C-alpha cells in the first residue's frame, strides 16, 4: 500500500497518510495535534496515482507536466495555490510525463500542461494548455 507523507505543523513529525485519507484532516501519530487536509500538489507515480484516483472521496485534478515545459512551469504556482484553496474538497496530483509516460498515454496526453479532472475514477474533464486557477477551481467544483 502506498502512502503520502505529511509533516505535523506542531511537532514536525512525519506522518504516513493512506491515499483514501489524503483529502481529510487527521491527527499526528506523535503529538496528536490536528493534521490539516492536504494542501499541496502530490507528485504521483503510477501506483500512488491509481490508488488515490480509485479511493478518493473528492474530485481529483491531475496536472500532467514536464520540467522542460515553459507553460508547465508558469502553471505550477496556480496549481499549487489551487491545492491550498481546495484542501479538503479536492486532491491535486502532479504527474511528470517524462518519468511516467505510461500515465500520460493512458489519458491520451499529447500536449502539456494537460489537466484531467476525475471523480470516482471517471474523467469529468480534460483540457490542454495553461489556464488560470479560477478556471481549474470551477472544474473541480462542477465535478462534485
28 noted as active-site residue: no
pLDDT digits (tens, 9 = 90+) for 51-78: 999 999 999 999 999 999 999 999 999 9
**Structure pTM?**
0.94
Cβ 128 vs Cβ 114: under 8 Å: yes
Residue 68's CATH number: 3.40.30.10
Q: Which of 8, 28, 31, 69 is catalytic?
A: 69
Domain that holds residue 54: 42-143
Confidence of residue 2 (pLDDT cuts 50, 70, 90): confident
pLDDT digits (tens, 9 = 90+) for 74-102: 999 999 999 999 999 999 999 999 999 99
Cβ 113 vs Cβ 72: under 8 Å: yes
Question: How many domains does the chain fold into?
Answer: 2
Same domain, 13 and 81: no
Same domain, 49 and 23: no
How many whole angstroms separate alpha carbon 76 and alpha carbon 108?
A: 21
Cβ 1 vs Cβ 51: under 8 Å: yes
How many whole angstroms separate alpha carbon 107 and alpha carbon 118?
A: 11
pLDDT digits (tens, 9 = 90+) for 45-55: 999 999 999 99
72 noted as active-site residue: yes
Same domain, 78 and 137: yes
Same domain, 46 and 30: no
Amino acid at each position: 500500500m502506498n502512502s503520502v507523507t505529511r509533516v505535523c505543523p506542531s511537532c514536525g513529525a512525519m506522518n504516513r497518510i493512506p491515499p483514501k485519507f489524503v483529502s481529510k484532516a487527521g491527527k499526528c501519530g506523535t503529538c496528536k495535534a490536528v493534521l490539516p487536509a492536504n494542501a499541496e500538489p502530490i507528485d504521483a507515480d503510477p501506483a500512488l496515482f491509481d490508488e488515490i484516483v480509485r479511493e478518493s472521496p473528492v474530485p481529483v485534478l491531475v496536472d500532467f507536466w514536464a520540467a522542460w515545459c515553459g507553460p508547465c512551469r508558469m502553471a505550477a504556482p496556480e496549481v499549487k495555490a489551487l491545492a491550498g484553496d481546495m484542501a479538503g474538497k479536492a486532491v491535486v496530483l502532479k504527474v511528470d510525463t517524462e518519468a511516467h509516460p505510461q500515465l500520460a498515454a493512458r489519458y491520451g496526453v499529447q500536449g502539456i500542461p494537460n489537466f484531467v479532472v476525475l471523480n470516482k475514477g471517471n474523467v469529468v474533464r480534460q483540457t490542454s494548455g495553461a489556464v488560470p486557477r479560477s478556471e481549474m477551481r470551477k472544474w473541480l467544483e462542477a465535478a462534485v
